[in-house]
Amino acid sequence: MAAIVTGGASGLGAATAERLARKGAQVALFDRDAERGMAKAREIGGLFQMLDVTDEAAVAAALAAAEAAHGIARILVNCAGIGAMQRVVGRDGQPHSAAEFRQVIEVNLIGTFIVLSRFAARLVTADAVGEERGVVINTASITAFDGQIGQVAYAASKGGVVGMTLPIARDLAQHRIRVVTIAPGLFETPLLLGLPPAVLEALAQQVPFPSRLGAPEEYADLVEAIVGNPMLNGETIRLDGALRMAPR
């Protein structure tokens, strides 16, 4: 079985790519980081395609290349995303950058939709395997539900991913394609691990149980469970150790 993982060069995407490859999938990694992406692809015996998920032509070409190498992909895991921290009105009185807000929406929400829709368009022509053709797993964030001060762009983008999960699942049901979203809490990703150790420790202590940061392998655990359970569809699953984010 073939699979595609966006943002597969590092973090949640890399752990997912490793897991799927270990389970026998032929994995294509889509990422902007060519050095890490090619290294990870070599490590798991997969294919790497460098692209920006907001570039429709590049996404179409990468999907075609992945299919030529591995056959029709039955699994898509969307992990590509960027973060941003900016108040609506800063302490200097300046409003939030519209360009930065737009970029976060473009990558996290529209990029997810571009890859998902182009992936699905190729998959609908394939024969079903058992009772389904395949599954799409998107990545949101608990920020979609309890975003903190300064996370307006990120929360909006991830809230959009959550909001489109059910309607897309209903839309693609006729084609026997499932759509599920994972909303991780505080995980060991490059974005978070760039913070000072003391800050990371303080963040970990906010998680009720287990009081630590999530491991990317635990995200991959859930991906594996979703792939294997046909009744999981149209749902957003929080993976957060019961964390509810404070305002700041």
Residues with catalytic roles: 154
**Looking at residue 242, what DSSP letter applies?**
T
Instruction: Give the E-state strand segments of 32-118 in sequence order.
Output: 47-50, 73-78
Inter-residue contact 21 to 2 (CB < 8 Å): no
Under 8 Å between Cβ of 153 and 84: yes
Adjacent-strand bridge partners of 26: 2
Number of helices (H) and strands (E), helices first, in the chain? 10, 7
Strand ranges of the sheet holding 134-139, from the earlier edge strand across to the other edge: 47-50, 26-31, 2-6, 73-78, 134-139, 177-184, 236-239
Q: What is the C-alpha to C-alpha distance for residues 93 and 201, in angstroms, rounded to an integer?
A: 32
Work out whether the CA dihedral 219, 225, 226, 232 comes out positive or negative.
negative
C-alpha dihedral over 75, 15, 43, 111, to 10 degrees? 50
**Amino acid letter for position 53:** V
